[in-house]
Every structure is written in C-alpha cells, then in structure tokens.
C-alpha cells in the first residue's frame, strides 16, 4: 500500500476553445454568392429598364416639342413623327428602319395594345412623308394634332416582345 501522501494529481477541466464565427460554413458562402449574383443581375435589369424609360421619355419629349413648334408643313411634321417613332422602335426592332408605307403602319398596330392607326392616320403615316405637297392635306390625311396624339398614345402604351413575354409569364404564375 502506498502512503497517504500520495494524492492523485488531478488537473482542472479544460474547456475547448469557443466556436469561431469565422470562417463561415459553406452554406453561408453559397448564400453570399447568390445574394451578390442577384444584386448584380438586379442592377443590370434596372439599368436596361432605365434606358428604355429614358428612350421613351425622350421620344415623348420630342413629340411634345414638335407639337409646340408647328412651323413646318404638315408633310414635314408627319415625316418627323415617323422618324421619332422609328427612333424608338430601332432599339428593340432594328428591322423597322427599313419599313415604310402600309407595312410600317401594320407593324405599329401590331406592337400596340390595340390598333391605333387606322383610316386617315394610317394613310398619313404611310403616304404623307413621301407624297408631294397637297392643298387638301388635312382633308385627305386628317388633322396633324390627331396624328400627334395617336403617336404619343402609342409610345406610352407600346410593348416590346420582351415586355409581353414577361407579362405573359407573370399572368401564368398568378393563374396557378
């Protein structure tokens, strides 16, 4: 037997180091990457939408300026309305630069929510910029104010194919 002096040498309990928050678990890294990618994508979408809104706003402003400065002949003003509409469409539909006549009017009616250009307004857009000056211009093509109002209304309501696709997909998800 051993002597009573020999006591067991017991050391105090050592707790492990506290769990560190760094480095994060792989799931947190994945979440961070997803958030960064979503932020970058949202920025680019916002920037593209802003450019579209700016183009539409610029074209509407040009139409408004045209309305306040009717110092041109009716045929020249009609040609300028065509030019402004083509400038807007050029961003989304590059093939519209070559369109003219009834094909151009049909394109505009197809891209609007409802066909706006019919009868005199369609004839004015299709023929007036290319026709010789007429004494009975307003009787044949209608009032320039009406055509200008229709062009502004079309610009405010026109949808690109991309916007239509997004709206259709949103409508399908809401229906489900």
Please, which pLDDT band fits residue 19 given cuts at 50, 70 and 90?
confident
User: Average pLDDT for residues 24-43, to the nearest whole number?
Assistant: 95
Please, which pLDDT band fits residue 164 given cuts at 50, 70 and 90?
low
On the question of a cis peptide bond just before residue 23, with omega within 30 degrees of 0, the verdict is yes
> For the ranges 68-72, 79-83, 122-126, which has the lowest average pLDDT?
68-72
Please, which pLDDT band fits residue 172 given cuts at 50, 70 and 90?
low
C-alpha distances out from residue 112 to 45, 47, 137, 153, Å:
23, 24, 26, 9
Does residue 174 register a pLDDT over 70?
no
* 3-state SS class at 31: helix
> Cα–Cα distance between 146 and 125 in angstroms, integer?
12
> For the ranges 5-19, 94-108, 156-170, which has the lowest average pLDDT?
156-170
Please, which pLDDT band fits residue 70 given cuts at 50, 70 and 90?
low
Contact 116/150 with Cβ under 8 angstroms?
yes
Please, which pLDDT band fits residue 31 given cuts at 50, 70 and 90?
very high
Does residue 90 register a pLDDT over 70?
yes
> Cα–Cα distance between 176 and 34 in angstroms, integer?
27
User: Average pLDDT for residues 150-163, to the nearest whole number?
Assistant: 77
Does residue 117 register a pLDDT over 70?
yes
Contact 156/60 with Cβ under 8 angstroms?
yes
Cβ count near 127 (within 10 Å): 17
Determine if the pTM surpasses 0.75: no
Please, which pLDDT band fits residue 156 given cuts at 50, 70 and 90?
confident
Radius of gyration of the chain (CA): 34
């Amino acid at each position: 037997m051993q002597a009573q002096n020999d006591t067991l040498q017991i050391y105090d309990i050592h707790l492990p180091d506290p769990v560190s928050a760094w480095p994060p678990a792989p799931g947190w890294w994945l979440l961070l990457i997803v958030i960064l990618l979503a932020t970058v994508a949202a920025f680019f979408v916002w920037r593209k939408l802003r450019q579209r809104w700016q183009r539409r706003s610029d074209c509407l402003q040009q139409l408004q300026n045209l309305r306040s400065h009717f110092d041109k002949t009716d045929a020249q003003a009609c040609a300028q309305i065509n030019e402004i509409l083509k400038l807007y469409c050029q961003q989304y539909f590059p093939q519209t630069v070559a369109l003219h006549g009834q094909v151009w009017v049909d394109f505009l009616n197809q891209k609007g929510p409802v066909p706006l250009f019919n009868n005199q307004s369609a004839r004015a857009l299709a023929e007036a910029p290319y026709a010789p000056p007429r004494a009975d211009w307003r009787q044949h093509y209608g009032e320039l104010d009406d055509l200008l109002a229709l062009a502004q209304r079309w610009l405010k309501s026109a949808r690109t194919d991309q916007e239509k696709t997004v709206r259709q997909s949103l409508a399908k998800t809401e229906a489900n």
